[in-house]
Amino acid sequence: MTIQIYGIRHCDTMKKAFAWLDSQGLEYHFHDYQKAGVPMAELRHWVARWDWEALINRKGTTWRRLSESEREVADAEAAINLMETHPSLIRRPILTDGDQDLLGFDGEAWAQAFPIRRGAG
């Protein structure tokens, strides 16, 4: 099982996620979508999995810096284009191991997703 975690390195929530993964002894590969962008196939998969509204981080500075017209996202395709252009709009972290996808950091949900390693460290 290879865990892939997507996000932005210097985000406080990402730091919590990295600390949790490390404390569980779980190996992972990090994809910084602020620096490397987001693969379109992944972005479309996430929108299908969670809906585009759940993926857009409306609390961050990137959202606040958008113009009014950019914030008027009408549908999934417009949201995908906006997230592709501004990857830091994507809620984080996104964790996947090929069998499951988790959106946002929730230690309890992550412990349920990875019960074999629970309490390891």
Q: Which residues are catalytic?
A: 11
- CB neighbourhood size of 6 (10 A): 25
Residues 56 and 119: their CA atoms lie apart, in Å, by: 32
Q: How many helices (H) and strands (E) does the chain have?
A: 7, 4
Sequence-separated (6 or more) residues with CB below 8 Å from residue 32: 7, 8, 9
On the CB side of 43, CA atoms within 13 Å amount to 21
